[in-house]
Structure 1
Amino acid sequence: MRLVTYLFRSARGTFLLALAAGLVSGIAGAAFIAPVNAALGDPDEAASGSIWIWYVALCLIAVVTRAFAQIQLFRLSQQVIYRLRRRMVDAILDAPLRAVETTGTPRLYSALADDVVVVADALPGLPLVCSSAAFLLVVIVYLVIVSPVVALVTLAAAVAGVAAYRAFAAYGMRYLAAARTEQDALFEHFRTVVEGVKELKLNRARRDALAGRALDATAMSYRRHSVVGLSVFEAAAGSGQAIIFALVGVLLFALPAMAAIPAASIAAAVLVILFAVSSLQGVLVWLPTLGRASIALGSIEARLTELETAGREEPATTPTPAFGDWRSIRLHGVRHVYRGPTGEEFTLGPLDLRVRRGEVLFVVGGNGSGKTTLAKLITGLYPPQGGTIRIGGTEVTGIKDTGIKDTGIEDTGVEITDADRDAYRQQFSAVFSDFHLFDNLLGLPPQDLLDKARHYLARLRLDHKVSIVDDRFSATALSQGQRKRLALLLAFLEDRPAYVFDEWAADQDPEFKRFFYRELLAELKARDKAVVVISHDDRYFDAADRLVRLDYGQISDAPAWLTSPPPGPGDPEEVRS
């Protein structure tokens, strides 16, 4: 079983200790049948002799070792939860961004939130399985002592029961695996409901179609596969119980007629077998849970394989990357191909572009032209599939800047490779259009951190809604524009050499649009930062030192209207409200 293999590989000591305790518990539980039979055979000896001492000792051993095994497995289950989740988190953070995006948020959430718990919840059943296996082994040995013929018949019945159960279980596992596949689709529906709740409330037809029929169809399929799978396991348990009843019937009614076996031996054998039934029933209850855990572990390993086989990005070896006082980032022949889930392709590039310190570069273009993909390439989140990215450069005076293919900086510096890509990424702060807002100040430069944070809260006019308590924001349930301002605050506190803003001003009112384009960008430029702004706000294109336009993945010449004089002071967009 996959689960047993994983536990033996990852926590061998604790797992073997728990299994050993389970085996001792099973042996002790089966062994105390002997003093029970002895006491029933000779009540006077039981009352005056030492049989009761053995009975008490075996009962204590069985109870204590079983409790010890369960406690070890409870500890192990929490250890497994931590290790699996930590391994998943590390795999997500270490894998290339494209691999994470391809795997998909619902499948990753499903593995982290559900599959790990299913695996951990099944672990306490393992000692019981071992205990019952030991119990059955001792029973067979005891029956050999009582009557070899009875032992042979019982062993044959046990083999038949195991074979029947395995046949049922294999069939049931297929349905449970199908249910697990449907679970990923269910998580996608749940994400749609949570993230699209406003739109679904406004559109009853869409709500009925997506959160009604589509979700119901997936949920019904999940339920159907789960019910069939669990029912098959129950049928397997029933078949085992039927074989035990048949065995008892054979011992009571058929075997005495075929072999000369003393009635006392038959009675002892039947008593032992009936005593074993309760133990076996407990095992059969756990086996479906163990089967689901094996499937869940397989799903986790599949997600880990997807992420880990995509490659591992090496972390930066030093907190401050040794790129020196770089002056530019040069993209030469950079190319990236995006392949959609149904085979469609979008190619960005090949592109030649330079990003310079002390300069504000605007990237403009229509939706789907590749602007965000370009931002991910510039920041190192996507490695180029062709071409090179170099960081460094030396200023050369007296050479005219020609716009897109400027020659004001020599092509010197370090070519970015996989080995130093993480160090390269540490040069950037970014606020993407699908940004995540962190609710704390952890990991930021500690120098005057709280004073700077409070300064920017006031400057961004958030101090009346948000305060800082124990390095955390008191509130993040804000409007989208306010959340973006908090994200901007965090980016400013990082104080990196380069900044990327992906449609930051799209959710801001006119006042903060002007504040962003006229004041913040100018401030970053004055601080010798390299600034890349993805924007559709053509009224503020004059705030850029350079402007490049993307059309279907290629850089094109900017039309005249993009470089026309800025609007006059009376323009409503230029006036603070």
Structure 2
Amino acid sequence: MALFTYLLRSSRRLFLLALAASVVSGGAGASFIAVVNYALGRSGDIPAWLVWAFTGLCLATVVTRFCSQNLLFRLSQDLIYQLRRRLIDAILGAPLRTVEKTGTPRLYSALSDDVVVIADALPGLPMVCFSAAFVVVCLVYMALVSPAVALASLVATALGVAVYRLFSHYGLRHLGAAREQQDRLFEHFRAITEGIKELKLDRRRRTALAGDQLDATARSYRRSGVLGLAVFEGAAGSGQAVFFGLIGVLLFCFPLWLDLSAKTLTDSVMVLLFMMSSLQGVLTWLPVLGRASVALRTIEERLERLESAGREPRLPGPAAAFGDWRQVEFRGVTHAYPGAAGEEFVLGPLDFTFRRGEVLFVVGGNGSGKTTLAKLLTGLYRPEEGTVHVDGTEVTDAGREEYRELFSAVFSDFFLFDSLAGLPDADRAAKAEHHLRRLQLDHKVSVVDDRFSTTALSQGQRKRLALLTACLADRSFYLFDEWAADQDPVFKEFFYTELLAELKERNAGIVVISHDDQYFDVADRLVRLDYGRIREEVSRGR
């Protein structure tokens, strides 16, 4: 089983200890039955050693079962952390384009659901080991009582395992289909939560997207999930039927074929009933373990996709190599987006220079490639062709993270963190309060324990907070992607005439993606993009 293999790789010592405790518990439980049968079959006084054996087996069964479960609880929590940590590291380490192609709903469902499904299945593993040890000891005991009955029980057990394997393959296939539909459900959930305003305004669209399409996906998910789980239940029922059939053979056929005493027959049936009870406990966990196998396979597929794209080198400490840069140069840089029907949008080839201490405006229509240019400039995308140079030195994969350390950016699809952790330490709380006053947010937001007291603000106010954190980062190159689009005239004026001038005085490089033509004269240079190509470059001669 894949789950066993993964646990052996990730937490070998703890997992083996838990399994060993489960095996001891199962063996002790089966030995307990043998002691009970022996005590019931005796006549006269009960010897002291039998009492001590009974007591010892009771204690051993309870204590080892407790130890096994406790170890597995610890292991499950460690496993949740390890899997999530590995997924997060893979997401942060993979190229941005790979993460975007994988999709937020797929990654979020792996982090939030698949990991929990695996952790919830771990308590079933000791039960499997307990039952395996229990069955082995019971078979050994029955071999001592009646080799013929032991052989029949062994055949029945093997038949039950074969039936389970036959059913499980079919069941796992349907559980895998349900897991694929779950990703689609997460996409629907995201559309509903993020598009709630639009859906409330449009009844027909709400019915189509949050009704018909969601219901169709949910029905498909439910159908595959129910069928998969039903198959496992069928496997459980088949296993029970095999043992019921064996008990029937013992009761009604063996006495006709073999010379078995009533005591031997009673002991054998009693042991089989205990074996059935133990195996029934395992069978209840089979659907859970099946779902865990599907979840683990899904996580491994997500990780393989992220890690196969190559892990970006990480800096051990602060960047230094490009600290005194003067210019960033594109040499034949291109980037392509493939379309669904085979068409593609190509940005470039671009031959262009960005200079320190200069305000550069990038303008153009929607879809002209402005945001893609921003991601190439900041090192978030690798050029598919061409190279990026800083003062003549090529930015390679090994130095890409160091190159990114030059930039502070507010993208059009920015994310606002409520924590200031990781920003430069020197007086950051005081600086944050200063910027809050300048941006007229101090009456709504304060800094408490290095966090914003709230981020539940309007879009324009949230963008002002994002601008605040960008300024606190104190970098030498700033990029603003449509920052002023959601601002009122007062803050547009502040941004274009005051803030950009302050950053320029600090000798920072500044790139502004904008449609505000009334402020184009603020730029030292203006570049116009059209369908991925530079169609116009205007220098203001400053």
Distance 1:97 1:279 in 2: 50
Do the aligned partners of 1:35 and 1:52 also contact (CA within 8 Å) in 2?
no
Do the aligned partners of 2:322 and 2:406 also contact (CA within 8 Å) in 1?
no
Identity of aligned residues (%): 65
- CA positional deviation for 1:83: 0.3
- CA positional deviation for 1:35: 1.5
Which residue of the partner structure matches residue 147 of structure 1? 146
Say what the alpha-carbon RMSD is for the aligned residues: 1.3
Which residue of the partner structure matches residue 430 of structure 2? 451
- Say if 2:139 is the partner of 1:136: no
Unaligned runs of 5+ in 2: none
Which residue of the partner structure matches residue 226 of structure 2? 227
Which residue of the partner structure matches residue 80 of structure 2? 81
- CA positional deviation for 1:344: 3.4
Distance 1:371 1:43, change over 3 A: farther
- In the TM superposition, 1:310-349 aligns within 5 A as 310-341=309-340, 343-349=342-348
- Say if 2:44 is the partner of 1:44: yes
- In the TM superposition, 1:147-296 aligns within 5 A as 147-296=146-295
SS of match in other structure, 1:44: coil
- CA positional deviation for 1:43: 5.2
SS of match in other structure, 2:45: helix
> Deviations 1:485-517 (Å, cap 9, x if unpaired)?
000000000110000000000000111111111
Do the aligned partners of 2:118 and 2:292 also contact (CA within 8 Å) in 1?
yes
- CA positional deviation for 1:265: 1.2
Distance 2:138 2:361 in 1: 80
Which residue of the partner structure matches residue 499 of structure 1? 478
- Say if 2:27 is the partner of 1:27: yes
SS of match in other structure, 1:367: coil
One-letter amino acid of the structure 2 residue matched with residue 213 of structure 1:
D
TM-score normalised per structure 1: 0.92
Distance 2:136 2:94 in 1: 48
Distance 2:197 2:514 in 1: 26
Do the aligned partners of 1:29 and 1:62 also contact (CA within 8 Å) in 2?
yes
One-letter amino acid of the structure 2 residue matched with residue 297 of structure 1:
L
One-letter amino acid of the structure 2 residue matched with residue 523 of structure 1:
E
Do the aligned partners of 2:334 and 2:386 also contact (CA within 8 Å) in 1?
yes
Distance 1:88 1:40, change over 3 A: same
> Deviations 1:105-130 (Å, cap 9, x if unpaired)?
00000000000000011011101100
- CA positional deviation for 1:325: 1.2
> Deviations 1:7-39 (Å, cap 9, x if unpaired)?
001100000000000000000000011221112
- In the TM superposition, 1:368-379 aligns within 5 A as 368-379=367-378
Which residue of the partner structure matches residue 393 of structure 2? 414
> Deviations 1:46-79 (Å, cap 9, x if unpaired)?
3x54322211210110111011000000000000
SS of match in other structure, 1:476: coil
- CA positional deviation for 1:338: 1.4
One-letter amino acid of the structure 1 residue matched with residue 283 of structure 2:
L
Do the aligned partners of 2:323 and 2:406 also contact (CA within 8 Å) in 1?
no
> Deviations 1:515-564 (Å, cap 9, x if unpaired)?
11111111111111100000111111111110001111000026xxx999
Unaligned runs of 5+ in 1: 393-412, 565-577
Which residue of the partner structure matches residue 499 of structure 2? 520
Distance 2:314 2:327 in 1: 23
Do the aligned partners of 2:525 and 2:539 also contact (CA within 8 Å) in 1?
no
Distance 1:302 1:342 in 2: 26
One-letter amino acid of the structure 1 residue matched with residue 469 of structure 2:
L
Do the aligned partners of 1:362 and 1:535 also contact (CA within 8 Å) in 2?
yes
One-letter amino acid of the structure 1 residue matched with residue 137 of structure 2:
V
Do the aligned partners of 2:459 and 2:486 also contact (CA within 8 Å) in 1?
yes
- CA positional deviation for 1:342: 5.1
TM-score normalised per structure 2: 0.98
- In the TM superposition, 1:94-109 aligns within 5 A as 94-109=93-108
Distance 1:43 1:476 in 2: 80
Distance 2:10 2:343 in 1: 41
Distance 2:173 2:477 in 1: 52
> Deviations 1:556-576 (Å, cap 9, x if unpaired)?
026xxx999xxxxxxxxxxxx
Which residue of the partner structure matches residue 298 of structure 1? 297
Aligned pair count? 540
Do the aligned partners of 1:542 and 1:563 also contact (CA within 8 Å) in 2?
no
